[in-house]
Each structure stands twice: as C-alpha cells, then as structure tokens.
Structure 1
C-alpha cells in the first residue's frame, strides 16, 4: 500500500466516523514556544489548553511535522525522520478511551475492502500506563487482546504532558510485531526494534502542576492537580512507520517516499545501497534532509543564521556534504528537490505549483555552501600550517569549533582534512564547545517555553462569540464592553490613568495582522474615554484593545462608541494597497519567483520581503518604482471578493507563507488579474488613492531573501521634497546646476582618490626611508635585537605590515623582533615580526602579542614569525612596548 493511500484511508476512516477533516497546518508553528510544528496535536493546542473553544467536537488530520532534536542521529537509526507525517484523531470532550480504542482497532485490523489496513490482530501489542487498569480492561473487551499482549509501563513511557502546567494524562501505545528476525520475543518491553510503535493514544484527563526541575518533561516530577473539566483524546499514528509495516520493508528509508531519493543518489554516485554501511548512512541522511528541506522551503522558511532559517541551512549543507562524502562533487540540490516534488506533490500539490521558487532557494543555498567549503578550506590550511609550525600534531578543538560555527564548516570535513594532513583533531574540546553552545540554546528555548502566555481568561469571552469587525465599511461603531482586563484578570471598572485590555462585541478598529499595523483611535463611553494604544487578536477571533483611560472610567457591560483615527486609517490603507502594488511590480519586473515572504506596513510606510538571490540593480529599482507609480496613476479598481480557498487558487490568488486562513477567504484584486492576493487588511477603493510611492531602500535579509522599503502618500511627498532640498543644497555648495551635481561629484571624488594615492606613496616612501635608521637604532633585549616604535598618526595597517616585513628582512641574519604600532584618535593597529633565528630560540610573534594586547585593549594573533591585531586604547602603546621588553627579558622593565 502506497503512503498516499495510507494517509487517505486514515482520513476517510475518521470522516466516516463523524470527524471534521482538518488540513495540515504549516510547518511554521504559530506556537511561540516552537520553531516548527512537531506533532499532530500542535494546531489543536489552544483547544486542549482551554485558550479557545473548538469549532467541532471531533477532528482528524494528517499533519506535516519536523523534529530536529536528534538531527545528528538521522540516518544512523532506520526509523527516525526529521520530516514526518503524523496522522491523528482528536476528541474535545466527546468520546474518550473506549471510543479511541475502538476507532484505532477498527482501522488497523479492518479489511482492505472495508477501508482498513488489514493488519493481523495477532501481531499487535499495546502498552498502557501502569496505573490505568481501565484501559487494560477496554483493550480486552473491545479488541479481544489477551492479557499477555498488554504490558504496563511507568510515567516516563506511558504518561503524556506538554512539559508545562496544563492538560496531561495516561497514554496507550500500539505496537506491531515485525517478527523474530528483528529481535527477541517478549513484547515492547523486550525489544522496540522487533515491536515497532505505530500509534499512540493519549487520554487527556488531568491537569498537571509545575515541574520540580529534577527530571524531564515526561518524568514524574510534577503533581497532578485534579481532573480536567472535560476529557479529551489526542492520538498520533506515524504515517512513515505504517508504510514500513504495510510495504513489508526493513526501515522507513526503503518505503516508497524515500527509497527513490536513495536510488537517485546511487545513479549519481555509482555506489550501491546496502554494500557500505557508512555510505548507506550518508544516503539516508541525503534522503531525509533533502525531503525535509523541500517541505520547509515550501512552507516559507528561508536559509539563515538563526531559528528556522539555521535549521534549514543545516539540512541543505548536511545534504551537500553527505553527497560529497560518497563521491558526488557536482551540485545535487536541484536534482534531489525534483525527486521530492514528484514523490510528495500528490499529497502536497503546492510543491509542484511552487517548485520554481523552492528549487531556486535550495540551489542558491547550495552554491553559497560550496563557496563556504572553498573559503573554509583556505582557513583550514592556515590552521594546519600554524599547528605544524608549533610542532603540534593535534588541531585545537577551538579551531574546529570556529570553522564550524563561523564558516559552517562540518566537523566531519575538518576530521577528514586533518587526517589527510597527518593531524588529529581535539574532538573532546570541540564537543565541549558545541555542548556549551547547545546548553545556551536549550536555556533560550526553555525561557521561550516558560513565557507561554496564559490565555485561559479569554475562554469565557470567546464562548460568547467572536468580535465582529465593522471597520471595512465604517470608522465609528457602537459596541458592548464584554470584558475589561487588568493584569490578565477580569474587572468591572477601569479608572483614569489605568492601562487595560478591553474587549468589545464589535469594533471598527483593525487588529494587527497580515503585516498591517493596528489602528489608532479612541473609545468613548457614558462615563469616560480611553486612548487606543494597540489592537491584537486572540485565537484570530477575539479582538483585544489595549487602551489608556484618559478621562472618567470604563464599565464592563456598558455600550461605548469606538472611533478609528481617520488620518491613521487613510495612511494605513495607502500603505497596505501600496504593498500589493509593489509586490505585483516585483513579479512583473523580476519574474514570478519574486514571491512575497513577509511584510509590514503602517501609515505612510511599507516593507516587503521577497524571494530573490541577487541584489537589485539601480535599473531594476527604478523600473519597479516606475511600474508601481504607473499602476497608481492608472487608477486601477480595487475589488474585494470572498470565496473558498479552492476558488481563490483558481483566481491565481497569492497566499502569504506561514499565514493561517479560514475556509472562507478574503481576496483583494487590484487591476483585475494584475494583483490578486488573500488579504484581510484595509485597502483603498482605487489605486490612485495610494498617492506617490518612492522606494527608499533595498537590502538582503538572508540567503535568497531581499527586502524593499518604500513610503507612500504624503510621506512619499515629504521624502521626495527632502531629497530635492538636499540636491539643491549640494548644488549650491558646488556652484553648479542641479543636473550637473553627479558629474561634479564624480570629478571631485576622482581627484580625492588621486590625492590619497599620492599621500599614501609619500607616507610609504618616508617609512621606507626610515627603515635603515630604525635598524641601526635596534636595542639588545635579552637574546634578541628589538625594534619597537609608534609610527606617525595616519599610518595605515597595510603600511605597518609592509614596514615590519621590510625591517624583518633587513635583520633576517640575526635574532630580532620588530614591533610597530600605528595609533589614531581612538584605535591602534600593530604588527609583530620575528626573524627565523629568533623563532629558533623559541620567540613567537603570537605569544608576544598575547602578552601586550591588554595594554592596548585589543586582540590579535598569527603565525610564529608574524602576528598582527588592533586595539581601542592608543594611549596604552608605551605600556605595551614596556610589557614586550619585559617578556623578552629586559632587566630594566
């Protein structure tokens, strides 16, 4: 049975059982405590936590998931994936243990003709929580399982919680016996290789307290505070593991959605999978990581140096590195992504429709990494030379860590190159530094996890229904105060001077979303008035106004009038419609791959991130600005329609990556098909109302990701007026017409460059001329001749190095040290050169630098014969020279 059919049978089974089929959420989790969606229950977490009311009593989904905790072990084990699909069924106060067990057993053991998986009941085992006798009885009554195939386990294995105070409960895991060739008899307690876990049923029935801090999130280090108001079900069936079972293969990498990737690597490498264990691991890494990277990019993640972007970058780079380790040196990402598209698009069609963008981002990152390998190889060569010059045979762990952390240089590559150079690597030191980094990352993650806001206070407000937004058609609306909150607690009144949260049954004030900033305005009640500071949404349904009471008091239950600042809203509409216009212009000028990857707009200002792998030329910027303003001048109609997501897709509507949309979506058209986007923001009625638009900047915000910023409306007029005034001022200073300013500046700049070159030549000649005198003035310090001097202010670092090299060469026949300092107003550059005879005596430039850098407040280093650096304390140069003399053995120091 193919994996796509396994997914569909699961959904069909539960839909027939009255469950609402919920599409997979994005891999980019809305949960602030998570980088990615890590489990099927994550999109339903607000319902389980009581933060919002579920719109259905029971649901089912097949959720895309990414887990990265064990990324270094991927490929080594044969049943773990970074990306995987978790099928689940969920009950929110509807059925409980008996229903969950019945649904699972029917699907697993039902015949293929009846829509089941057709598994042999005699090969299924279950585990239950050691105190959950009720589940034992239910498994025996419903499934007819004999007692010997029901095993009890403790809290570490069969008790579930989110790791923070909240819902928890026992769970029951279902295992499939793969047969004696995979391990000993005796059930899951005896072997988790032979007995493969395929489904976990979580029975949420209790509320847990704070952790004692003595154990992990699943350990018995918390108290059970009491039963939940309602009992819930959360289950998870691993689709890839079920494919392993139903396709009768040994591991997940031999299933239909991963083995073809390995087959392609066999073709590219000329190797055969199954002959070399090390090569097999690398092929599995390639299969896993290329699929994970494709899906992540598909959901809007772009490579970067932190967060999600760093995880994606690491996946792509590990893929490329693994390919090189099995002999494939040519680029592979485009080919691999193409295989993933063909395999996964039947379930995720957006991988095919958006493949041009996905491939471009992946290929761009691969090219960047190949350049990194080239530059890292050069840095490794320097480290190798320094290690050997010191007579050592072990590359320091700090060096390997620096290559890894700053250059993205994999440790396995460092180990391989070190071996080729006859060196070993201080792996223990490298591992210690990596662990310190991971500890810091875990601490950050824990801090984020602990900061999860308690939104349960809004549950009752949400139960009364969502806030109705009236602001599309009016700027003033009456509404009833359904809630006043101070420090998260409901209150009856709020007095003058207090900053509170206020909830209305309807409001014209726009809550920040979709890149648009929240509205400004005020709220007037029968007893007081408040200034609106911010407007946010809770669970995308409840509008919460953060206000400051400026007069009198506000009273819960009273009728108030909410006002939107009309000037603010006008600017906001101009900016948001301007964002759509710029996006359409980008796609027209740069091509369809220039897709929006994020935006922010507020009155008069817009910022838009988009996929593109090179900086925009001046001509490109000019054309984008011209296309935008021509569209504005054309007075294009702006039309808003509503429809299903399928209807929006048929219209060619563009959806923002990572955004969550309802079943019915709002579609904003500007100029018909020229610009069609899903958007909940406020917009102008005609493009001419946007006013002038001026691009103000263009920059890089990550690999394959660019950002443009612009001003619109009156702010654009102010920007252009300021630039015009600046041009007139410069023209006045240069005493030329404004049109001749660029030419005159170019002439002056060229003249300045020439003067600087002449001055540099004069300085260099002066320094060279002083070299002989400096050699003659060398003093004997210990066993060497020393030349130590502060050079004239303005001497460049390059001139310092040139002079130091010249002096060293002039004194090459004797033990000598040259130390030159070039101070400026707030910094100092320095170079230390040591002749070969002095190096033979044990004098090393790097050691000398380390001795005196504290005096100049700096850092530096280098080879035994030459080291350099800089500092921030030029006044410390005399003390640095004194310290240098002392280290060399000057009795007078």
Structure 2
C-alpha cells in the first residue's frame, strides 16, 4: 500500500466517524520556542491546553513534521529521519480512552477491503502505564489482547507531558512484531527493532505542577475535560505495510536513494558507510523539498540555517560518494514525484523550489572551494608550528562563516594528520546557541523575562478583547503589570514594564507589520507604548514607559494608537501587498514573497530569485506598483474558510497559522489576494507612492526589495531629484545627459589609473634593477634590503621584482619594508633549494608575527623604526643560519 493511500485511509476513517479533517499546518511555526512543527499535536496545542476554545469537538490530521536535534544520527541508524508525517486523531473533551482504543484497533486490524490496514491482530503488542488499569482492561475487552501482550511500563516510556505545568497523562503505544529475523522474542521491552512502535495514544487526563524530567513533578489533579491526542507515524506504517526494513526504503524515499546510488555509481547494501551517505541524501533531499515548499529559504540563522545545513549535508554526502557534478537538479525532481500525490503544492511550486535549492548548491560548491583553502592554510600553520590540534575558534569560523559542518572539518583535518579542538568549538557553539535562546525568550515574552506571569494573567482573565481592526482608541482596565522579575502592583515614572489590558486597539507585531505606537492615559498616570507583542495565543502585551504618575493594577485608562503612526503602518502594509503583486506581474508566479517587514514609511520584501534585477526590471516593478496606486484600486477584506481562500487563489504566508475562518485582503480583486491579519488602507491611492530604494542579495537564490512609502516615499524622490540637480549643476550638464557625462569621466579616470599603474611598474622595475646590484653576502646568500614608500602591496611588488633580478645560480633573498609597518621577504629558487624558508624566517625576525609560503612571506605588527633596525640586521640573521 503506497504512503499516499495510507494517509488517505487514515483521514477517511476518522472523517467517517465525526472528525473534522484539519489540513497540515506549514512546517515553520509562529511558536517562538520552535523553529518547525515537530509533532502532530503542535497546531492543536492551544486547544489541548485550554488557551483557546476548540472550533470542533474532534479532529483528525496528517501533520508534516521536522526534527533536527539528532540530525547527526540521520542515516547512521534506520530509525532517524528529519522529515516525517504524523497521522493523528484528537478529542477535545469529547470521547476518551474507550473510543480512542477502539478506533486504533479497528483501523489497524480491519481488512484492507473494508478500509483498514489489515495488520495481523496476533502480531500486535501494546504498552500501558503501570498505573493505568483502565487502559489495560480496555485492551483486554475491546481487542481481546492477552495479558502477555499488554506490557506495563514506567513514566519514562508511557507518561506524557509538555515539559511544563499543564495537561499530562498516561499513554498507550501499539507495536507490531516484524518477526524473528529482526530480533529477539519477548515484546517491545526486549527489542524495539523487531517490535516496531507505530501508534501512540495519549490520554490527557491530569494536570501537572512544576518539576523536571519525566516524573519529577506533582500531579495536581484531574482535568475537568480530558482530551485525546494520538500519533501514528506514517512512515512507520508504510514500512510495515510495504514489507520494508526501514523508513528509507518506502515509496516516498527509496526512489531518491536509488537515483543517488545510480548517479554515484555505487550499490545500496554493499558497504555500511556508503549506505549511511545514501540514507542521508534520501532523507535530506525530501526534507529540503518540503521545507522549501512551505516557504523556508536558505539563510544564516534560524530556520534558514537549518535548511541550509540540510541541503549542504546532502550535497556533501553526494561528493563523498564520488559524485562531483550538481546533484540537486537530479534528486529534487525524484523527491517531487514521490511527494506530489500527497502534497500537490510541491509540484505547483517546483520551479521556485528548484531554483532556490540549486542556487544554494552552487553557492556551497564555491564555499567548499573557499573553505577548503582556509582549512588547508590553517592546518599547514598548525603543522609548521609543530602542533597537532586545530584551534576550536578556527573550526567555528569554518562552521559559522563557510557553512562547514564540524564533521566535515574533523574529517578533512584528520586526512592531514591534525586533530580538532572539539571542546573549544563546542564552547563557541554553546555561546552562540545561548544568544539565540535569549533572543527567542525575549521575543516570546514581549519584552519581559517572566512569561509565567503572563500565562497566569491569561488563565485568570481570558484573551484580550482585541480591537485593532475597528478602532484607534479603547477604554481599558489594567489587568496586570509585569517587570523583568515578575508581577508588580505599580509602575512608577521612568520605569519600563509590560502591561496587559482587558481590551486593546493596538496592533501587535505580526505578519511582517511592526507594532503600533501610542499612549495610555489614566487619572493617575501617562505612559508611552513602546512595543506590542502577542507572547501567548490570545494575549496582547504592551511594553510601556511611564512618563508621568504611577500606573497600577486595576487602573482605568484610555488606550490610544498614534493615528499618524497607524496611517503610515497601513500605507506600508498595503504597499507591501502592492509591491508583491507587481513583482509577480513582472517576474512571474515563482517570485513569491518569503519574508517581509513594514513600518510607517518603509517596507522590505524578500523573494526567491537567481541573480540581481536589472535597472530596467526594477523600474518596471516600481511602475507596475504605482500604476495600481494611480488606478486607485479598492482594498477589501473578506472572511472565508481556508479551502475557499485557496480556491480563489489567495496567497498564504508560510510562517502563519490559520483558524477555520481566514481573513483575505484583496487589492483590485484578483490582482492582489493574500491571507493577512494586518491593517490596510481603504483604497490604493491612499498609499501615496512606492519608491524602490534598494535591491540586494540576502542569501543564495534570495533577493530583497526595499521601498519608501507614503510621505517618506515622496521625500525620498525629492532628495533624489535635488541630488541629480546638484550633480548636473556641478558638471555643467543637462540632467538628461548626465549618464553620458559621468560615463566619460569614469573612462578618463580608469585610463589615468592604468597609466599610473604602468608608470609605477616601470619605476619599480628600474629601482629593482638598481637594488639587485646592492646585495650583501650573508654566508653564501645574497641579501638585498630596501624600503618602499607605500602600503604592503607596494612592498610586496618591489620585493618580487628585486628577487626576479637576482642571480639564479646562488641563493638570494629580497627584503622590503613598507612605511605602513609591513615586512615582505621573497626567496629565489636557489635559496629554497638550500633550505631557506621565507615563512620561518619572517616569524623569526618578527617574533612570530607573520607567515606565508616558503618562497614569499609577510609580517608586521612592530613599530616602523624597529622594523628598519631589523631590516639592517637581516644579513647577520641570515648569515647565522
């Protein structure tokens, strides 16, 4: 049974039993504690924790997931995969253990002809929590399982929680006996390779308190409404139903593996290391395809860095297999064909996906050349100095700057007989991760470190009555004041705190739109609103500075958005939509927004594209955007279901999650139609103007447009006009003729530069000839010393010119000191043949401050006067040997 059919059967089974089919959320998640959705229940978390009222009593989904914590283990074992799909059924206070167990048993064991999976009931084992006698009894009565195939296990294996105070409960896992060829008899407690887990049923019935680990916390009591959260690994079920040994051999991954083996001219199953590399390729190519399809772009941080690393590990693995040509154009197309039956969007967006991935591979191939040169130089320096360990800082530089995974650095260094300071590298990596975690915590908390206080406020008072779409002011009550150390009763003049109100007209930063600015005014306090965030679903947190008086919990205030700020924000956000539509109009549908930011007067928009846009294309995009403004296209908002929005062609942002009803913003009807929660103008002409101010690269295959909007756009154009007028006046040329005038000036400057370089070379050659005749014998070596009035490049040019004029039949050395403190040594062939080494010599002269090759070396770092003294001493130093 193909994976797509396994997926379809699961959804159909539960839809027929009253479950709402919920589409998979995009892999990028707005949860600041996660980069990607890593479990099937993540999109349902607000409903399971009680933060939000669920829109349905029961639901089912097949959720795309990515886990990268154990990415180094991918391929080494047959259990680890970075991308996987989780079939799930969920009950929000509706049915509980009895129906969950009955559903799982019925779908697993019903004949294929009846819509089930047809697993042999005699080969299914289950585990239960040792305290869960109810689940044990249900497995006996509903499934007829004997006691010996119902295994009791402890908290580590069969008790679930989110790791924080909140819902928790026992779970029951289903395993399938794959036969004695794969391991020992005795059930999952004995061998989890032979007995493969394929479904986990979580009975969310309790509430846990503070504590660490799997069991280091108290159970506070039963939940008023218990929930069901189950997860069936789609790849694991495919492994079972397709009779395969592991997830790399099922129909969605094996074709990629086979194509990789064909390209590399190797055979899967012939050698362990070859198999590992082929499995890495198969997993990572599929993972990259799905991440790219959901809008993640390769980058240097966060999600983009994870994707970049995955792509580069796939490319590197192909090179290790002996395949040196570009591999992704061949492999991605195979992965697309495997995944398209379940996810048609990977085929629809394949041109964009392929362009981004292939651009990243091209960049990495160049990086490999650069990074290899850096590594080789660093290793040579270590060996020259008699060491055997590459510093951790050098390994981190290769990782952070050149994208070298540490295992690549370890392998390449080992090939040259050098170890790597893993401890130093790990320390630097941990420091970087801690900075990233601190940033994530700050973003999550909306400016305060105490999210538990915000959680308590949400639990006590419910969601904020949010009115940003309807109003600029609201009468509100202060529900809570939170400082860096936790809740405080009052905030005094000058203090910066986070305030939660019962209602708010302020827009919280999201969807690329910056937060509103404004004020809180009460009988006893005035405060400036600095930032507005949504740290928890449904909660608006205002970071404020008290400018007068004292603000206390319970105070009544007027919350007022700065109307000029909001107008600018609306212009910028609508301008972003207009620019996006104009971009797609000129470049085509693959130029899909992959990131944006807008604030009053400014916007930026990132999109996948190979190569810079020409001035003509930029002008066409700007013209298309402003044409929409001149036509004064209407801006409208409609609410509909997500399938309805997709049906009319509305574009969705990949890093947003959507409820059952979505908000569609239209500009000129179908001309621009996007899912969006931001604030917008009523008519396009209200934007004023869109003036492109920049176009640049933000990574391989990714470009960024920047623009000034509204009054700032007119200001920008006025400044540009004034600048052109001043240049025209200074050059005495009409503005229309400025390009030709400036081009002529540049040509003359280039000609003058070439002439200067020629004269300089002639002068250097003449001086070199004179200096070559002044050599001093130093124990058989002819030593010439000189100074150069210029930078290190001039000193190097003179040293090489002198060396080339020394006799070739005896050792010769040219030493030139520049007036910027650089010393350059150049040896002829006879000198190096005699055992002299320029790198060793320059370090000896300058106390280790320098390096290079045995023929040419350079150093510095000493005062100019001392350098000239050392230059005079050089013949004696060389003569001593």
Return the TM-score normalized by structure 1: 0.85
- 1:347 and 2:348 aligned: no
Once the 2 structures are TM-superposed, how far is the Cα of residue 407 of structure 1 from its aligned partner? 4.7
Once the 2 structures are TM-superposed, how far is the Cα of residue 68 of structure 1 from its aligned partner? 2.2
Provide the C-alpha distance between the structure 2 equivalents of 1:447 and 1:133, rounded to a whole number of angstroms.
Answer: 43
Once the 2 structures are TM-superposed, how far is the Cα of residue 245 of structure 1 from its aligned partner? 0.9
Q: Cα distance 1:265–1:461, how it changes in 2: closer, same or farther (>3 A)?
A: closer
- 1:357 and 2:352 aligned: yes
Q: Cα distance 1:874–1:664, how it changes in 2: closer, same or farther (>3 A)?
A: farther
**Greater CA deviation, 21-30 or 451-460?**
451-460
Once the 2 structures are TM-superposed, how far is the Cα of residue 84 of structure 1 from its aligned partner? 0.6
Alignment of 1:681-830 (within 5 A): 681-779=678-776, 784-793=781-790, 795=791, 797=793, 800-801=796-797, 803-804=799-800, 806-807=802-803, 810=806, 812-824=808-820, 828-830=821-823
- 1:207 and 2:198 aligned: no
Provide the C-alpha distance between the structure 1 equivalents of 2:504 and 2:422, rounded to a whole number of angstroms.
Answer: 56
Q: Which residue of 2 aligns with 1:334?
A: 329
Alignment of 1:200-349 (within 5 A): 200-202=200-202, 205=206, 207=208, 209=210, 211=212, 222-224=216-218, 226-227=220-221, 233-265=228-260, 268=263, 273-274=268-269, 278-324=273-319, 330-349=325-344
- 1:672 and 2:669 aligned: yes
**Greater CA deviation, 646-655 or 761-770?**
761-770
3-state secondary structure, aligned to 2:719: helix
**Greater CA deviation, 425-434 or 533-542?**
425-434
Q: Cα distance 1:806–1:400, how it changes in 2: closer, same or farther (>3 A)?
A: farther
Provide the C-alpha distance between the structure 1 equivalents of 2:227 and 2:436, rounded to a whole number of angstroms.
Answer: 28
Q: Which residue of 2 aligns with 1:882?
A: 870
Once the 2 structures are TM-superposed, how far is the Cα of residue 764 of structure 1 from its aligned partner? 3.0
Contact 2:799 2:824 (8 Å CA) reproduced: no
Contact 1:387 1:394 (8 Å CA) reproduced: no
Once the 2 structures are TM-superposed, how far is the Cα of residue 695 of structure 1 from its aligned partner? 0.9
Contact 1:49 1:456 (8 Å CA) reproduced: no
Contact 1:394 1:425 (8 Å CA) reproduced: no
Q: Cα distance 1:883–1:647, how it changes in 2: closer, same or farther (>3 A)?
A: farther
Q: Which residue of 1 aligns with 2:124?
A: 124
Once the 2 structures are TM-superposed, how far is the Cα of residue 570 of structure 1 from its aligned partner? 1.7
Contact 2:803 2:813 (8 Å CA) reproduced: no
Once the 2 structures are TM-superposed, how far is the Cα of residue 671 of structure 1 from its aligned partner? 2.1
Once the 2 structures are TM-superposed, how far is the Cα of residue 602 of structure 1 from its aligned partner? 1.0
**Aligned-pair RMSD on alpha carbons?**
4.2
Q: Which residue of 2 aligns with 1:34?
A: 34
Q: Which residue of 1 aligns with 2:613?
A: 616
Q: Which residue of 2 aligns with 1:865?
A: 855
Provide the C-alpha distance between the structure 2 equivalents of 1:269 and 1:410, rounded to a whole number of angstroms.
Answer: 22
Alignment of 1:104-503 (within 5 A): 104-112=104-112, 115-128=115-128, 136=136, 139-140=139-140, 142-153=142-153, 156-160=156-160, 162=162, 171-202=171-202, 205=206, 207=208, 209=210, 211=212, 222-224=216-218, 226-227=220-221, 233-265=228-260, 268=263, 273-274=268-269, 278-324=273-319, 330-372=325-367, 407-408=402-403, 424-426=415-417, 428-429=419-420, 453=445, 454-455=451-452, 457-458=454-455, 461=458, 466-487=463-484, 496-503=493-500
**Greater CA deviation, 433-442 or 357-366?**
433-442
Return the TM-score normalized by structure 2: 0.87
Once the 2 structures are TM-superposed, how far is the Cα of residue 549 of structure 1 from its aligned partner? 3.6
Provide the C-alpha distance between the structure 2 equivalents of 1:85 and 1:51, rounded to a whole number of angstroms.
Answer: 25
Provide the C-alpha distance between the structure 2 equivalents of 1:677 and 1:355, rounded to a whole number of angstroms.
Answer: 20
Once the 2 structures are TM-superposed, how far is the Cα of residue 597 of structure 1 from its aligned partner? 0.9
Provide the C-alpha distance between the structure 2 equivalents of 1:388 and 1:487, rounded to a whole number of angstroms.
Answer: 47
Provide the C-alpha distance between the structure 1 equivalents of 2:49 and 2:435, rounded to a whole number of angstroms.
Answer: 23
**Greater CA deviation, 98-107 or 182-191?**
98-107
Contact 1:37 1:64 (8 Å CA) reproduced: yes
Q: Cα distance 1:119–1:887, how it changes in 2: closer, same or farther (>3 A)?
A: farther
Provide the C-alpha distance between the structure 2 equivalents of 1:457 and 1:396, rounded to a whole number of angstroms.
Answer: 47
Q: Which residue of 2 aligns with 1:88?
A: 88
Provide the C-alpha distance between the structure 2 equivalents of 1:564 and 1:663, rounded to a whole number of angstroms.
Answer: 29
Once the 2 structures are TM-superposed, how far is the Cα of residue 612 of structure 1 from its aligned partner? 0.9
Q: 1:520 aligned to 506, 517, 525, which one?
A: 517
Contact 1:819 1:831 (8 Å CA) reproduced: yes
Q: Cα distance 1:756–1:210, how it changes in 2: closer, same or farther (>3 A)?
A: farther
- 1:585 and 2:578 aligned: no
Once the 2 structures are TM-superposed, how far is the Cα of residue 242 of structure 1 from its aligned partner? 1.0
Provide the C-alpha distance between the structure 2 equivalents of 1:265 and 1:273, rounded to a whole number of angstroms.
Answer: 10
Once the 2 structures are TM-superposed, how far is the Cα of residue 363 of structure 1 from its aligned partner? 2.2
3-state secondary structure, aligned to 2:498: strand
Q: Deviations 1:255-283 (Å, cap 9, x if unpaired)? A: 22223333444665666644565544443
Q: Cα distance 1:342–1:882, how it changes in 2: closer, same or farther (>3 A)?
A: same
Q: Cα distance 1:63–1:463, how it changes in 2: closer, same or farther (>3 A)?
A: farther
Once the 2 structures are TM-superposed, how far is the Cα of residue 196 of structure 1 from its aligned partner? 1.3
Once the 2 structures are TM-superposed, how far is the Cα of residue 193 of structure 1 from its aligned partner? 1.6
- 1:68 and 2:61 aligned: no
3-state secondary structure, aligned to 1:181: helix
Once the 2 structures are TM-superposed, how far is the Cα of residue 645 of structure 1 from its aligned partner? 1.6
3-state secondary structure, aligned to 1:5: helix
Contact 2:55 2:660 (8 Å CA) reproduced: no
Contact 1:457 1:488 (8 Å CA) reproduced: no
Q: Deviations 1:766-813 (Å, cap 9, x if unpaired)? A: 3333324544544566785544544203x4616624533532651544
**Greater CA deviation, 543-552 or 651-660?**
543-552
Once the 2 structures are TM-superposed, how far is the Cα of residue 496 of structure 1 from its aligned partner? 4.7
Contact 1:208 1:224 (8 Å CA) reproduced: yes
Provide the C-alpha distance between the structure 2 equivalents of 1:524 and 1:644, rounded to a whole number of angstroms.
Answer: 39
Q: Deviations 1:470-495 (Å, cap 9, x if unpaired)? A: 44344334445555545585666655
Once the 2 structures are TM-superposed, how far is the Cα of residue 556 of structure 1 from its aligned partner? 5.0
